[in-house]
Structure 1
Amino acid sequence: MKAKTIKGNSTTEIKKAFENALEDGFTPTLAIVFLSIKQDRIAISQMLEAKGISIFGATTAGEFIDGEIGEESVVIMLLDIKKEHFKCIHFETGDQQTLDISKQIGQIGLDTFKNPAFIIASGGISTDGEMIIKGIESAVGPKVTIFGGMAGDDFTMTGTYVFTNGHYEITGLVALILDEDKVQIAGLATSGWQPVGTVRTVTKSEGNTVYTIDDEPALDVVIKYMGINKNIDEWKEVIVNVGSEFPMQIQREGSEPVIRAPLFANKTDRSLVCAGSVPQGSKIRFSLAPDFNVIDKVIEECESVKENELPNADALIMFSCKARHLSLGPMVSDEIDSVKNVWGAPMAGFFSYGEMGKSTKGKHEFHNNTCSLVAISEK
């Protein structure tokens, strides 16, 4: 399988880059498209559809190929993977719950391939990413391979979308299902955020909404933890700071903590809406953002994946939490570039609102504030 990456700041630039990519006779069958909500995803999708290319797309909070980070731009990875080795499907949320939709995606995967693997992108800001994992696992089993990310919207929090052929404003799910008997897939999800402070208890929650922590309104607890006195009308800034710098870590026996970052606050009941489920009764600790050593840790873990799981990759896809971009600043470019250099394969990715992937000591799960990398190679 051959992969090429292209980028542009407009539809015109992308069309030119696309034409240049095909000049040597390259005939891609699949396009991984990550772009700003300000870009014309319909025109770009139709350009790809005219060549019979399947599309797996998501809007972003920043996009990149290799170590080059774009803002309000377009990046595309073109792959000439055999059509019989993959399938793109989508579901709009509608009246169905994320869990039910994900079960259907898992079943379609099983009906299509004996050993399906899933790369998922989710539209809709309030989607509970944990339900995506649970739904697919309920159909396929707990050892299923799942990677992916929650779409972004340039950090405006106004609306995120995923898209595929003929469907350009999906607030549900788009799935790239791969035949794991024909396509080797490996990867990891790593964070670097360190737990600090005392253990607290989520005393009231429902799904991905946290109402109280230690019997106090959740929003008040995080504002107090940050040590600031913010006017409640500035709640959006508060949540941005909490999500990027002080996310919650759910403590779990026998496995690594899982991070949950608030996306919204409700000024009426002072609850927090997170990107993934936070079960009532959970023991949590707040976090501190990673230091300069986090990149070394990411590279070390990637090198372990290369050595033990996938020595050679045809393509790399990265879902990196927007919080990493906010916290690491220019260093995030070094992280992206260093990961690419482990395999030396083409890379495309975007800054997301939640990630799916496999932690180094666990199974495939939903994460926040994480760098989730998937490496693929056609057998």
Structure 2
Amino acid sequence: MQIQQSILAAADVARFAPPPLPLPAQLLLAFAAPAFFADDTLAARLRVAYPQALIVGCSTAGEIAGNLVHDERCVLTALAFEHTSVRAVSTVLGTMADSAAAGAALAAQLPHAGLAAVLLLGTGVAINGSALVAALEQGLPPGVPLSGGLAADGGAFARTWTLGPGGRADDQVVAVGLYGSRLALGHGSYGGWRPFGPSRKITRAVDNVLYELDGERALDIYKAYLGSYAADLPASGLLFPFELQGGEAHGGVIRTILGTDDASGSLILAGNVEVDGTLRLMHADTEKLIDGAETAARRAAPAPAPRGQALAILVSCVGRRLVMGDRIDEEVEAVAAILGADTLLTGFYSNGEIAAPAPGAPCRLHNQTMTITVLGEY
């Protein structure tokens, strides 16, 4: 597998011409700041630069390339496989209620014969990510790993973009199927957030809307815990996610608050929760988040090992970036140190991360994690 990476400022797009690869690129991953999606210029230029490649990507809350996190850049990573073929499909997501149907539609469009893995990129607002993931995974052949993430817009949660076979759109989800028997694949996901306060029972919820905890309005309880941070909701919700029952070591997941409804006293979460389950509030410690990124990297090591260069696609949460501030590069550097010099890093800061937490576990939508997919060939 051959890999080529470029980092573009906005002024570079119109004149961008990539250096040649030994083999024609079959897949181009484009992770870019929202401003790059203001019009069709980026998509049009990439079609000229990589005429034989499938072009997929999304808007971000920060772009990852090498060992660094970038702002207001477009990171392009072109892949030329020797033994693997690719197929990209997309579907429109009309409303949040259509999320499961969108996942089923993507699964139906992807040919199943020879399918080795699927990379999923979705819009980052007005979406039920857990419903999307569950429906897509159910429609795939058993054992096919699924990973990816939800687009971001710098933490605004207003309008996000994806790139797919038809170009850019703010209402589409995109899936890339990887086909062949020589694909070396690894994936891992971990958070590193710390719990505080008692566990609370979910007494009323519908899909991803949480109405009651222990029989009381969920929003009232949440505001009481946040104290002065409650005035900045929903943005401050990124700093205080929920951990669902079981904890990360036992298959639990973290849920971010995307919005609030004062009238109903509810919290709108990034994915589904279940009545009679339990959850607890989480807060961040920068050192623990860096340790979590290292754990994800260890889990993501492919078996069998790739031959030659590999690519690691990092999808980390915008909430982690807000917490870590100027130290954000440290979690990427930690991943690079674990994966080694033969693995090139790309990726983005997201509104949601998609992966199994470890090989053999079911795929889930995560929030506030570092999620890593390692691709190579052997």
State whether TM-score is above 0.5.
yes
Tell whether the 8 Å contact from 1:126 to 1:275 is kept in structure 2 after alignment.
Answer: no
1:28 corresponds, among 14, 25, 30, to 25
What does the per-residue CA deviation read over 1:137-157, in whole Å, with 9 as the maximum and x for residues that have no partner? Answer: 221256331111111112222
Look up the SS of the partner of 2:175 in the other structure: strand
**What letter is aligned with 2:259?**
F
Gaps of 5+ in 1: none
Tell whether the 8 Å contact from 1:59 to 1:162 is kept in structure 2 after alignment.
Answer: yes
Superposed, which structure 2 residues align to 1:288-327 within 5 Å?
288-303=283-298, 305-306=300-301, 310=305, 314-327=310-323
How far the C-alpha of 1:301 sits from its partner, in A, is 4.7
Tell whether the 8 Å contact from 1:129 to 1:354 is kept in structure 2 after alignment.
Answer: yes
Question: TM-score scaled by structure 2?
Answer: 0.89
Alignment-derived partner of residue 186 in structure 1: 186
Superposed, which structure 2 residues align to 1:9-20 within 5 Å?
9-10=9-10, 12-14=11-13, 16=15, 18-19=16-17
1:339 corresponds, among 332, 335, 341, to 335
Alignment-derived partner of residue 213 in structure 1: 213
Instruction: Note if 1:274 corresponds to 2:269.
Output: yes
Gaps of 5+ in 2: none
CA distance in 1, matches of 2:352, 2:220: 24
Superposed, which structure 2 residues align to 1:47-196 within 5 Å?
47-50=45-48, 51-52=50-51, 53-81=53-81, 85-94=85-94, 97-109=98-110, 111-140=111-140, 143-179=143-179, 181-196=181-196
CA distance in 2, matches of 1:317, 1:114: 22
Tell whether the 8 Å contact from 2:13 to 2:45 is kept in structure 1 after alignment.
Answer: no
Seen in structure 2, the aligned counterparts of structure 1 residues 369 and 300 have a Cα distance that, compared at 3 Å, is closer
Seen in structure 2, the aligned counterparts of structure 1 residues 269 and 136 have a Cα distance that, compared at 3 Å, is same
Count, aligned residues = 369
2:35 corresponds, among 35, 38, 44, to 38
Q: Which 10-residue stretch deviates more, 338-347 or 278-287?
A: 338-347
> What value does the CA root-mean-square deviation take over the aligned residues?
2.5
Tell whether the 8 Å contact from 2:124 to 2:351 is kept in structure 1 after alignment.
Answer: no
Look up the SS of the partner of 2:348 in the other structure: strand
How far the C-alpha of 1:227 sits from its partner, in A, is 2.7
Tell whether the 8 Å contact from 2:193 to 2:288 is kept in structure 1 after alignment.
Answer: no
What does the per-residue CA deviation read over 1:79-133, in whole Å, with 9 as the maximum and x for residues that have no partner? Answer: 1135961111110013782212212322333x34333411111115021111122
Percent of matched pairs sharing the same residue: 21
How far the C-alpha of 1:289 sits from its partner, in A, is 1.1
Question: TM-score scaled by structure 1?
Answer: 0.89
CA distance in 2, matches of 1:369, 1:297: 10
